[in-house]
Structure 1
Amino acid sequence: MTTVSARVPDEDEDELDEVAELLGEDRSSVIRKALREGLEEIRVRVAVERYQWGEVSVNEAARIAGVSLAEWLEIARERNLTTQLKTDDLERDADTALKV
């Protein structure tokens, strides 16, 4: 496991201690969980933005988000995403989905 150090504002340190106490875990465990969850959310946010702008296909959005195609379709449904993709892109995605 790699060691990473970072400076955090005092209020974040206080929040970290509170969450660690709530979870009954040490700071390092809470930081790892927060980092993992934060990275996952960032990946999904970027995928959503790029998909909404029509920059990526369904498959590429799933890859960016780090989820399966089925999971991406669920995310898209939950967020009521619409696409700006061309008909050809949608047909290609539909063909790929049928193969999965």
Structure 2
Amino acid sequence: MSGTRFSPNRENPRDLSGEALVKALSRSWGYHVVHQEGSHIVLETAEPSHQRIVVPAHRQLRIGTLSTILRLVARHKGVERDAILRSFE
């Protein structure tokens, strides 16, 4: 994602929006938007098994929220969190 700043040790980006996260997860990790309820976007994937996650559609995600979403996706896909972060570059 252009405009998103990363530190060399792959900390969570500090300026990632919910919509940018949704686009990255859709493009690189097989998630698709199921629907949106207010300011929350519901994503779903079937690989390797069914999973739904909710991403707040905020201009800037809180670090704890982003960290939790990244941990859930990484665990479900069987990859390290850093692999998820690299896909945002």
TM tier relative to shorter chain: under 0.3
Normalised by the length of structure 1, the TM-score is 0.24
More strand by share: 2
Larger Rg: 1
More helix by share: 1
